[in-house]
Amino acid sequence: MPSRSRQNWQVIASCLAVLGIMCGIVAYSPTLYRMFCAATGYGGTTQRVAADAAAVSAQTVTVAFDASVAPGLDWRFAPVERTVAVHLGEQKLVYFTAENLGSTPAVAHATFNVTPQSSGIYFNKIQCFCFNEERLDAHQKVQMPVVFYVDPAFGKDPEMHGVTVITLGYTFFRSANPQNAKDLARFLVDAPPDAAHGKALFAERCSACHALDANKLGPALGGVVGRRVGSAAGYNYSPAVKNADFVWSADKLDRWLADPRAFIPGARMPVRVLDAPSRKDLIAYLERESGKAEAKPAIAGAASSEQAR
């Protein structure tokens, strides 16, 4: 039957066309892919993000913390504060303490959950100990930071009306594969700065906008320590940063990273690193790279065509 097989071909052809378009979108648009992941929280119940939410709303919500330890792991684990009130969109830093009560080192990993479950998509974690296997030596005690915000869209979702408390719960389990464990000692209060950890943080939290040797959305950062502020060749700075007048030191970087827009009002960098140990590690990395890597002259136009807001 020629007409039937022709119809079939038409169906197959249109399927292939749609598939082709979708492949094209995915291949050519990492941005769309990222938007998809950010919108769906793909890869976890809650999302992990690099930048501040665009706006901080006047509306607040209470976030409560819950911590427990599964049987078989001799740890004490608790939030430092039981609850905090946050403005929607506001970045918040909280701490959890963990202590190995046993007399041998132990590796564990944390799982988390957010209740009510439907609020999970609005709960964004920027930094958390929950992404890795973690190791605590015998009797070691650490304070672990979690940085999060609640998406302002929470306030506009009719399903969320009446939700006044979001609970973030963690459970630590003894780990089945302790080989890849990270050492929780990096959270010890007076741990020395760790440039290697700084490098990992840089890749995670800065490299979307910064490289060492080229301008991207933000200026090149190789050699930034000891460099005059706002002076990466070929980068189109905000007037506020261009007109600032000082040389980047560890101390100035610390204040900048804690809150760029408080340090230089009018600055355009939308990212903050709220916890001091991470700032210390990032700065140790930038200092190390400033010792050996000089910023290459920027590729003309790379910065001016992409303006950060």
270 binds ligand HEC (CB under 6 A): yes
What does the chain come to in residues? Answer: 309
Give the nearest distance from C-beta 257 to ligand HEC in angstroms: 6
Count of chain residues binding ligand HEC (CB under 6 A): 30
Pairing of strands 133-136, 106-115: antiparallel
Does residue 132 sit in helix, strand or coil? coil
Q: Toward ligand HEC, which CB reaches closer, 233 or 300?
A: 233
205 binds ligand HEC (CB under 6 A): yes
d(CA 51, CA 226): 26
Answer for which of 229, 284, 298, 303 binds ligand HEC (CB under 6 A) is 229
- What Cα–Cα distance (Å) separates residue 281 from each residue in 221, 251, 260? 15, 13, 17
- With contact defined as beta carbons under 8 Å apart, do 75 and 108 qualify? yes
Q: Toward ligand HEC, which CB reaches closer, 171 or 278?
A: 278
- With contact defined as beta carbons under 8 Å apart, do 285 and 195 qualify? yes
Give, as one character, the DSSP assignment of residue 217.
S
206 binds ligand HEC (CB under 6 A): yes
d(CA 174, CA 182): 14
126 binds ligand HEC (CB under 6 A): no
Q: Toward ligand HEC, which CB reaches closer, 77 or 149?
A: 149
- With contact defined as beta carbons under 8 Å apart, do 232 and 219 qualify? yes
Answer for which of 37, 49, 51, 84 binds ligand HEC (CB under 6 A) is 51
64 binds ligand HEC (CB under 6 A): no
Crossing angle of the two packed helices 276-292 and 250-258, in degrees rounded to 10: 130
Return the number of other C-beta atoms located less than 10 Å from residue 282's C-beta.
24
d(CA 93, CA 274): 6
Does residue 283 sit in helix, strand or coil? helix
Q: Toward ligand HEC, which CB reaches closer, 84 or 217?
A: 217
Give the nearest distance from C-beta 65 to ligand HEC in angstroms: 25
238 binds ligand HEC (CB under 6 A): yes
Answer for which of 110, 147, 166, 232 binds ligand HEC (CB under 6 A) is 232
Q: Toward ligand HEC, which CB reaches closer, 108 or 209?
A: 209
Site string for ligand HEC, 279-308 (x = CB under 6 A): ---x-------------------------x
List contacts with ligand HEC (CB under 6 A).
50-51, 205-206, 208-210, 217-219, 221, 224, 229-230, 232, 237-238, 240-241, 253, 256-257, 267-271, 273, 282, 308
